[in-house]
Amino acid sequence: MESRQHPRVSVMPPGRARFQLGGKDYEAIRIVNVGINGCCILAPTPFLDLLGERPILEGWRLLCPGLPADPIQARVIWVGRQGVPRGSDLKAGVQFLDTPSGFTHRLFRYVTMRFRPPSAGAF
C-alpha cells in the first residue's frame, strides 16, 4: 500500500547520494526516485543489516544536477527485503530530516518540472 503524500520522480541523469553511516563514508549510492520529503535508493545487499535498523544517515548529499547538494540528515524508513536475489541491490526508502527551506524549494522545483501525472485512461 502506498503511503506517500507527495509525488516522486525518476532522477535523470541517474543520481547518486553520499552519506556517513556507522563511522564509514558511502559514496555513489544510486537514487531511484526523489520527492520533496525523501527518495528511494539502491544499496548493495550487505547494507541490509545496517539499513534495517532505520539509521540516521549523517552528511547526506544528493549528487545530481538540479538537486540541492547541501548536507542534511536523513533516515532510512523502509528496506525492501522480499524477493531480493543474493548479490543484487536492495531498495530502501529515505526520509529527509529538518531540511532548510532552500533545500525543500529546490526539490519542489525539480519534482514539479519532471512530474507527469498518470493518465486517467480511456473510457
Q: What is the pTM of this model?
A: 0.83
Provide the CA 63 distance to its chain's centre, in angstroms. 11
Predicted pLDDT at 81: 67
Q: Say yes or no to pLDDT of 122 above 50.
A: no
**Residue 98's CB: how many other CB atoms inside 10 A?**
8
- What percentage of residues in the chain have a pLDDT greater than 70? 84
Asked if residues 42 and 71 have their Cβ atoms less than 8 Å apart, the reply is: no
Distance of alpha carbon 116 from alpha carbon 9, whole angstroms: 8
pLDDT tens for each residue of 91-105:
899 999 999 999 999
What class, spelled out in words, does domain 9-114 have in CATH?
A: mainly beta
Residue 4 or residue 52, greater confidence: 52
Q: Say yes or no to pLDDT of 15 above 80.
A: yes
Asked if residues 9 and 110 have their Cβ atoms less than 8 Å apart, the reply is: yes
Question: What is the chain's mean pLDDT, rounded?
Answer: 85
With cell 520533496, the residue in question is: 36
Domain ranges of the chain: 9-114
